[in-house]
Amino acid sequence: MAMTIVEAKASQKTKFAVIDCDIHNAPASAEELRQYLSPRWRRYDETYGARAQYPGAAYPRLHPSAARDDSWPPGGGRPGSDLPFLQAQLLDEWQIEYGVLNPLVGGSGRNNPEYAAALCQAINRWQIESWVEPEPRLRASIVPPSEAGELAAQEIDRCAPDPRFVQILLIARTQELLGRRKYWPMYEAAVRHDLPIGIHFGGQAGWPITGAGWPSFYIEDHVGMPQSFQPQIISMIFEGLFERFPGLKIVLIEGGFAWLAPLMWRMDRSWELMRDEVPHVKRPPSEYVRQNFWITTQPVEEPAQPSQFVELLDQLDMNDRFFFATDYPHWDFDAPDQALPSALPAELQRAILAENARNFYRF
Amino acid sequence: MSSLGNEQRIIDCDLHNVLPSPATIQPFLPAHWQEYTTQSDLKGPAASFYSSGGPLAMKEMVTPVSGQLPGSNLALMQTQVLDGLGIEIGLLNCAYAVEGVHNPYGAAAFAGAVNDWQVSEWLEKEPRLRGSLVVPSQDIELAVQEINRLGHHPGFVQLFLPVRSRELYGTRRFHPLYRAAVDHNLAICLHFGGEPGAPPSPSGWPSYYIEEYAGMSHIFQSQMISLITEGVFGQFPELRVVLAASGITWLPSLMWRLDKEWKGLRREVPWVKQLPSDYMRDHIRFTLTPFDAPPSAEQLEEILDQMGSDELILFSTDYPHHYFTTVEEALPSGLPVGLKHKILFENANKFYGLDG
């Protein structure tokens, strides 16, 4: 039965094959991950680990676990924690050919770098053993201890030989801007293994979550994600990352994309005005965006008029760089047969739903 | 100017009058602060958030005399902008970073002195100019006192607030400021820059000035999200907000995103009663320069159409940070003629009620 589904490339609902580039699996309990920790780090995790990382930084979700109401497994546990239920509700339901796991379980940004490294190693082993091994349609993302560049590179080196890891997962709000030097060893490792870096929605790094302080409401945290992605792109480009690492590939996950064309125009103008400050940036910033960046679709943009979606894609000129994503099991799930405007040409729908990702990731 | 015709009336909504030196405000300070600033290192805000040596377009042109700061000389502004471009009314935005002064009493004294200096050295000397009131926004009570002291002056049309603030402008602490602004028929101008002492991104400090510059737009976006979701426009239906030197072409993307999220999450913010993009079109305006134009005229047309209103953009030169020898030079090429007229005069005139 499972074999039939894997071989059927085209989903009946979409008429095209579907590859989902943003699926969130989770451990059913803290214990599920702890069993992958050494006795020393297990003791540490039990004694000091489980606390608010930056007390006072939380915006409690409007929907419990930010999840679809129907995604709570009937047998108990958190949404995304039950493989058979995820298979039935997502992979089988939509006949998804491949799914990329992006577990958001908070390993990478822990303040204690050795603890972060141990936790990341546990998360990565758990992904392979509990998810990718039993379900061949799934692929994993390496969760690195990203705030410690050398340790992150070590974890990437450890995981990368397993081809079932298809990218490296970062979270949008990092302790420093991602162009800065402390992250460079991580990028060296990514390029060494030809693995893309996915930057996913979310995170808290101890700074206010806007450039002007703390908002009051969850909607501001949630709607404000493009304002967390933009400074990261600005930083990576103006630090000259793509001159230093021309092969570095960045996937923007769940950040939206309507803001990206205007950001390119602004960066290009800024560069024309001030390029003498950053002589290591050799080309207009928009060229790096179109050479080194890719984008996942969810949450898909919803302009006031459907024709404006087409205008938006024309402005971006990155049609071969969009990957479809559902964001399962989160409340703002994009359904494969409904998320893309029907006005898009069939060939483009086909490319976005699966073919772009198939050509990009090592499935 | 020629193609616009001599009859074209023009309002410039973003001119910068710059304090020639920190000592300039000495005579306008109360005795205690005159003495204190003479005897201590506290002279006012620290260095400007603009980069020290430019990068201004044609900087040598806007420097009055060697050693003098661009924007510090009224006569040169008159020659180069008001007369040179045929500006009927010019709005001054004095980017005096009083929010960076931690001493609240000092900040209030400096703000008051700068405002008195603006009245005596700019507004009273040049009837074509209007001013923006500098307020110590780090202490709302003191800021309201300053509005009550000088907000009735007919030369002031808005409050100057730096877009980089310690706290988001939608939050409740700022609401008394908006009450006072509305009571005095003053708009709120959020302007590029600011010195809040906190990083300009959720991921800390960038390495280069060009990053701060390019990144200023996302802080404007955060402020718009805050003003709308925190219900400021429901509470103050008459409040008018101008974003100055923000860049403009990102606006449709923010409208779409906020409208979409509001449909999913409005239960959390029941006071937001209409589409966020409607609040934007009703209450918020943008100064023209810098515009961040797309590469083609067709895309420019798309972006303008996506904004869903032709009343949102107000002409500005951003002098002396930009310097134009003709008005046409300051306009993005390919603007429809009707929109050009609205941008040059009608939109600002309607928004500020300038010609009565």
Tell me the residue type at A243: E
Give the pLDDT score at B208: 96
Give the pLDDT score at A245: 98
Is B210's Cβ below 8 Å from some Cβ in A? Answer: yes
Is B253's Cβ below 8 Å from some Cβ in A? Answer: yes
What would the 3-class secondary structure string for chain A be?
Answer: CHHHHHHCCECCCCCCEEEEEEECCCCCCHHHHHCCCCHHHHHHHHHHHCCCCCCCCCCCCCCHHHECHHHCCCCCCCCCCCHHHHHHHHHHCCCEEEEEECCCCCCCCCCCHHHHHHHHHHHHHHHHHHHHCCCCCEEEEECCCCCCHHHHHHHHHHHCCCCCEEEEEEECCCCCCCCCHHHHHHHHHHHHCCCCEEEECCCCCCCCCCCCCCCCCHHHHHHCCHHHHHHHHHHHHHCCHHHHCCCCCEEEECCCCCCHHHHHHHHHHHHHHHHHHCCCCCCCHHHHHHHHEEEECCCCCCCCCHHHHHHHHHHHCCHHHEECCCCCCECCCCCCCCCCCCCCCHHHHHHHHHHHHHHHCCC
What average pLDDT does range A177-195 have in this prediction? 98
Is B171's Cβ below 8 Å from some Cβ in A? Answer: yes
On the question of a cis peptide bond just before residue B202, with omega within 30 degrees of 0, the verdict is no
d(CA B32, CA B37): 9
How would residue B56 be classed by pLDDT, with cut points 50, 70 and 90? low
d(CA A52, CA A62): 19
Asked if residues A101 and A168 have their Cβ atoms less than 8 Å apart, the reply is no
What average pLDDT does range A155-163 have in this prediction? 98
Task: Fill in the DSSP letter of residue B98.
Answer: G
How would residue A1 be classed by pLDDT, with cut points 50, 70 and 90? very low
What average pLDDT does range B243-266 have in this prediction? 97
Q: What is the pLDDT of residues A12-56, one digit of tens each?
A: 788 899 999 999 999 999 899 999 999 999 999 999 987 767 777
Asked if residues A144 and A106 have their Cβ atoms less than 8 Å apart, the reply is no
Query: Of B29, B261, B350, B239, whose CA–CA distance to A63 is shortest?
Result: B261
User: Which residues does B345 contact at the CB level (< 8 Å), separation at least 6?
Assistant: B8, B9, B10, B11, B88, B315
Measure A8 CA to nearest chain B CA, in Å: 34
Q: Determine the residue of chain A that is closest to B261 in CA distance.
A: A223
Between the CA of residue A165 and those of A6, A65, A160, A195, what are the distances in Å?
Answer: 19, 26, 6, 9
Phi and psi (nearest 5°) for B92? -90, 135
Asked if residues A252 and A294 have their Cβ atoms less than 8 Å apart, the reply is yes
Q: How far apart are the first and last CA of chain B?
A: 26
The CATH architecture one would assign to domain B11-352 is: Alpha-Beta Barrel (3.20)
User: What's the predicted TM-score (pTM) here?
Assistant: 0.96
Q: Which of A50-59, A246-255, B37-46, B165-174 has the lowest mean pLDDT?
A: A50-59
Is A202's Cβ below 8 Å from some Cβ in B? Answer: no
What average pLDDT does range A272-299 have in this prediction? 97
d(CA A141, CA A25): 11
B167–A62 CB contact, under 8 Å: no
How would residue B10 be classed by pLDDT, with cut points 50, 70 and 90? very high
Is B261's Cβ below 8 Å from some Cβ in A? Answer: yes
Between the CA of residue B322 and those of A76, A90, B16, B56, B57, what are the distances in Å?
Answer: 62, 54, 10, 6, 5
Position A67 pLDDT exceeds 80:
yes
Position B1 pLDDT exceeds 60:
no
B203–A231 CB contact, under 8 Å: yes
Is B296's Cβ below 8 Å from some Cβ in A? Answer: no
Average pLDDT over chain B, rounded to an integer: 94
Position B54 pLDDT exceeds 60:
no
Q: pLDDT > 90: what percent of chain B? A: 86
d(CA B121, CA B23): 14
Q: pLDDT > 70: what percent of chain A? A: 97
Q: What is the pLDDT of residues B163-220, one digit of tens each?
A: 999 999 999 999 999 999 999 999 999 999 998 889 999 999 999 999 999 999 999 9
Q: pLDDT > 90: what percent of chain A? A: 89
- Torsion, Cα of B120, B122, B127, B131 (10° steps): -100
Residues 239-298 of A with CB under 8 A from B: 239, 256, 258-259, 261-263, 265-267, 269-271, 273-274, 276-278
Give the pLDDT score at A58: 85
Give the pLDDT score at B324: 92
Position A299 pLDDT exceeds 50:
yes
Q: Is A68 exposed, middle or buried (0-12, 13-18, 19+ CB in 10 A)?
A: middle
Asked if residues B189 and B158 have their Cβ atoms less than 8 Å apart, the reply is yes
How would residue B356 be classed by pLDDT, with cut points 50, 70 and 90? low
Measure B184 CA to nearest chain A CA, in Å: 26
**Hey, what are A188's tokens?**
């060296």
Position A8 pLDDT exceeds 50:
no
How would residue A102 be classed by pLDDT, with cut points 50, 70 and 90? very high
Tell me the residue type at A12: Q
Is A212's Cβ below 8 Å from some Cβ in B? Answer: yes
d(CA A20, CA A13): 14
**Domain segments of chain B as ranges:** 11-352
Is A64's Cβ below 8 Å from some Cβ in B? Answer: no
Q: Determine the residue of chain B that is closest to A333 in CA distance.
A: B264
Position B255 pLDDT exceeds 50:
yes
B257–A331 CB contact, under 8 Å: no
Whose tokens are 């709000």? That residue is: A173
- Chain B CB contacts of A233 below 8 Å: none
Give the pLDDT score at B48: 65
What average pLDDT does range B302-316 have in this prediction? 98
Angle between helices B104-118 and B31-39 (to 10 degrees): 110
Mark A275-305 as b/e (b = at least 16 C-beta within 10 Å).
bebbeebeebbbebbeebbbbbbbbbbbbee
What average pLDDT does range B38-54 have in this prediction? 77
d(CA A278, CA A272): 11
- Chain B CB contacts of A212 below 8 Å: 163-169, 194, 196, 198, 219, 222-223, 226
What average pLDDT does range A204-216 have in this prediction? 94
Measure A255 CA to nearest chain B CA, in Å: 11
Q: What is the pLDDT of residues B319-347, one digit of tens each?
A: 998 889 999 999 999 899 999 999 999 99
Is A158's Cβ below 8 Å from some Cβ in B? Answer: no
Measure A165 CA to nearest chain B CA, in Å: 27
Is A177's Cβ below 8 Å from some Cβ in B? Answer: yes
A222–B163 CB contact, under 8 Å: no
Whose tokens are 């898009």? That residue is: A344
SS3 category, B159 = strand
- Chain B CB contacts of A205 below 8 Å: 202-204
Give the pLDDT score at B133: 98
d(CA A295, CA A226): 13
Give the pLDDT score at A244: 98
Q: What is the pLDDT of residues B59-112, one digit of tens each?
A: 778 888 878 888 999 999 999 999 999 999 999 999 998 999 999 999 999 999
Strand order of the sheet with strand B284-287?
Answer: B11-15, B89-92, B129-134, B156-162, B187-191, B241-244, B284-287, B313-314
ipTM associated with this complex:
0.96
Q: Return the ∠ at Cα B251 (arms to B265 and B328), rounded to 5°.
A: 170
Minimum-distance CB partner of A223 among B258, B299, B306: B258
What average pLDDT does range A160-170 have in this prediction? 98
d(CA B137, CA B110): 12
Give the pLDDT score at B58: 61
Is B138's Cβ below 8 Å from some Cβ in A? Answer: no
Query: Of B274, B294, B271, B292, whose CA–CA distance to B282 is shortest?
Result: B274
B225–A220 CB contact, under 8 Å: yes
Position A7 pLDDT exceeds 50:
no
How would residue A107 be classed by pLDDT, with cut points 50, 70 and 90? confident
How would residue B7 be classed by pLDDT, with cut points 50, 70 and 90? confident
A265–B293 CB contact, under 8 Å: yes
